[in-house]
Amino acid sequence: MPPTRRQFITAAAAFAVSHALLPPLGFGQAKKSTRLVLLGTKGGPRVGEAGRSNPATLIMINDVPYLVDCGYGTSKQLIAAGVALNLVRYVFITHHHSDHNLDFGPLLYNAWITGQPMRVDAYDPTGMNELARAFFKYQKFDIDVRIVDEGRTDPHGLVTAHDVTKPGVVMTNDDVKVSACLVRHPPIKQSYAYRFDAKDRSIVISGDTAYAPELAEFAKDADVLVHEVMYLPGIEALLQRLPNAKRLREHLMAAHTLPEEVGKIAAQARVKTLVLSHFVPGDDASITDEQWSAGVRKHFTGRVVVGRDLMEI
Ligand SMILES: [Zn+2]
Ligand SMILES: [Zn+2]
């Protein structure tokens, strides 16, 4: 059921108060450099026993957290990275595979339950409003109880969703311009890469994609390109254990990028640093950093970083 007018006004009032309490963005304080932290580097929705967490990437610009994707475990990874959950200000979802959005609702909830002021602008290829609404409905019992019993504010007004419906500039503020590029991730039609052009640094996050030359153009001369990667021998080993191997193999080959292809994109884009992330398979510890990067280096002579959770670049 949609919130009543009174609930809406209450939420709006709470929002106005909480927003007023936020520190001013990039105003009256020394500018901080732009930081990139990999929160979760494993591709796919399966929760592993150890090692890599599901996809999420943090960009800190002038001390404001911008989060790209919210795979399972994002709240914990943010805290491990030293970011208070209520301070997450912007969320960008590359596409709606669950390894990229599963913790969006829980992250909002976990931020709300801190009781501290929060305000989130979320950008995604349509569906974020629905996702937030559905999550709040899923937790309606708990939220309603806590509003009355603990005097909490209604969380519905704390998130504003923005649909990304086409490539181009998604948002701008005093610190950064964020642009989107449509990439190739069939059968999903709306899957985006995002580019963050801050004053001191440009960072591109590929999202999930097969080899996409248009991404090289989009990432042209960026300081850092974070690109997904899939290691074929590792996939073959994984598939041997699965009953849906044939279908899954077809999906992986059509929708993800091999190391050699990642190298080509980085070389064409002439980026300074290439960071490998969204590893598929992401929980096979026998695959060495050298194996992940060998194919890349056939084409790209710049700096290559084999990403790990909580690594800062
Ligand atoms: Zn993915
Ligand atoms: Zn995907």
Tens-place pLDDT, residues 137-181: 999 999 999 999 999 999 988 899 999 999 999 999 999 999 999
At residue 130, does pLDDT exceed 90? no
Using an 8 Å Cβ cutoff, are 226 and 206 in contact?
yes
Neighbours of ion ligand 1 (CB under 5 A): 43, 99, 208
Determine if the peptide bond prior to 233 is cis (ω within 30°).
no
Q: Which positions ≥6 away from 102 have C-beta within 8 Å? A: 45, 54, 70, 71, 72
Ligand nearest to the CA of 68: 1
Question: What's at 262, amino acid-wise?
Answer: V
pLDDT greater at residue 75 or residue 156? 75
| Distance from residue 252's CA to the centre of ligand 2 (Å) | 9
Give SS3 for 78: helix
User: pLDDT tens digit string along 86-112?
Assistant: 999 999 999 999 999 999 999 999 999
Residues in the chain: 313
The confidence score (pLDDT) of residue 275 equals 98
> In the structure encoding, which two tokens stand for residue 215, read together?
């991404």
| Distance from residue 279's CA to the centre of ligand 2 (Å) | 12
59-98 burial: b if 16+ Cβ within 10 Å, else e = bbbbbbbbbbbbbbbbbebbeebebebbbbbbbbbbbbbe
User: Which of 150-159, 218-227, 242-251, 294-303 is predicted least confidently?
Assistant: 242-251
The confidence score (pLDDT) of residue 31 equals 56
Q: Which positions ≥6 away from 27 have C-beta within 8 Å? A: 174
| Distance from residue 198's CA to the centre of ligand 2 (Å) | 26
Ligand nearest to the CA of 54: 1
| Distance from residue 257's CA to the centre of ligand 1 (Å) | 12
The confidence score (pLDDT) of residue 241 equals 82
The confidence score (pLDDT) of residue 92 equals 98
Q: Of all helices (H) and strands (E), which one includes residue 118?
A: none
> In the structure encoding, which two tokens stand for residue 132, read together?
């937030």
| Distance from residue 209's CA to the centre of ligand 2 (Å) | 8
| Distance from residue 29's CA to the centre of ligand 1 (Å) | 37
| Distance from residue 205's CA to the centre of ligand 2 (Å) | 13
pTM above 0.85, yes or no: yes
| Distance from residue 149's CA to the centre of ligand 2 (Å) | 40
Mean predicted lDDT score pLDDT of the chain: 89
| Distance from residue 192's CA to the centre of ligand 2 (Å) | 10
| Distance from residue 14's CA to the centre of ligand 1 (Å) | 35
| Distance from residue 124's CA to the centre of ligand 2 (Å) | 14
| Distance from residue 227's CA to the centre of ligand 2 (Å) | 13
| Distance from residue 95's CA to the centre of ligand 1 (Å) | 8
> In the structure encoding, which two tokens stand for residue 173, read together?
């503020």
Question: Using 50, 70 and 90 to split pLDDT, how confident is the model at 246?
Answer: confident
Using an 8 Å Cβ cutoff, are 205 and 226 in contact?
yes
User: pLDDT tens digit string along 18-47?
Assistant: 333 333 333 334 557 999 999 999 999 988
Mean pLDDT throughout 253-276? 97
Ligand nearest to the CA of 185: 2
Using an 8 Å Cβ cutoff, are 100 and 228 in contact?
no
Mean pLDDT throughout 75-86? 97
